[in-house]
């Protein structure tokens, strides 16, 4: 055991001041400090609900509340995404509508241009066909007249049949065919019937193969060029009707 000299080597804390009063810093461990330690480990309900440094309470930071906040954020993000998709769809639809309208207008204009060009070309083709047919018919008639000089007599007879009942009749024919028709006058009267007067006149305006019959009832045009014109008009009506 250490002696008095050894005991002097330790410096124990003083429990009283120089006047012999207990030191105020000294708190018995068994009473006050134990209670303070327990209070620190188990705060009171009022203290646990005190605001935190971040502006919320401890209850606000529970897992349930955090989940609600996360769900609210997810809903907000979903709504924003849906609104963005809606606006994008509207913009795409507007652009598409404009493109479709422009395409439709261009299509209608193209069809109209095609119809106009078709009608114009069809008209040209019809005129070309009419001219070709008229030229072919004229050639056929000319060859027939050149090959058979009796054609003019048949034409005059049929025309006089249309003028039957007239009293004053004048038949105009080409100068080259006037003698032939004059010789057949009595034969032609059988088609006309009784008349007061029948004249056969040479006319430079009448081409071979045709005739022009004049009566007090009117004129009957059987000239070749007139008949060809009638043929062209009938062909034109036929083509347009078809």
Residues 186-208 have a mean pLDDT of 86
Report the pLDDT value the prediction gives residue 23, as an integer from 0 to 100.
52
Q: How confident is the model at residue 233 (pLDDT cuts 50, 70, 90)?
A: confident
* Pairwise pLDDT comparison (171 vs 49), residue with the higher score: 171
Homologous superfamily of the 148-241 domain (CATH): ATP synthase, E subunit, C-terminal (3.30.2320.30)
Domain borders along the chain are 148-241
Distances (CA, A) of 210 to 21, 45, 51, 173: 168, 135, 127, 7
């Amino acid at each position: 055991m250490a002696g008095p000299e050894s005991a002097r080597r330790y410096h124990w804390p003083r429990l009283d001041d120089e006047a012999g009063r207990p030191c105020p810093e000294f708190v018995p461990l068994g009473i006050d400090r134990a209670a303070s330690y327990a209070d620190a480990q188990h705060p009171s309900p009022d203290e646990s609900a005190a605001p935190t440094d971040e502006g919320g309470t401890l209850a606000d930071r529970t897992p349930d509340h955090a989940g609600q906040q996360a769900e609210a954020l997810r809903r907000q993000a979903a709504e924003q995404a849906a609104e963005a998709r809606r606006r994008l769809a509207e913009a795409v639809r507007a652009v598409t509508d404009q493109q479709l309208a422009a395409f439709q207008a261009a299509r209608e204009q193209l069809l109209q241009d095609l119809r106009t060009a078709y009608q114009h070309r069809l008209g040209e083709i019809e005129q070309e066909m009419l001219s070709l047919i008229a030229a072919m018919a004229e050639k056929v008639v000319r060859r027939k007249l050149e090959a058979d000089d009796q054609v003019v007599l048949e034409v005059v007879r049929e025309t006089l049949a249309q003028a039957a009942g007239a009293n004053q009749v004048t038949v105009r024919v080409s100068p080259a065919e006037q003698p032939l028709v004059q010789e057949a006058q009595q034969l032609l009267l059988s088609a006309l019937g009784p008349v007061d007067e029948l004249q056969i006149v040479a006319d430079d305006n009448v081409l071979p193969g045709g005739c022009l019959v004049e009566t007090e009832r009117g004129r009957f045009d059987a000239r070749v060029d007139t008949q060809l014109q009638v043929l062209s008009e009938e062909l034109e009506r036929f083509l347009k009707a078809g």
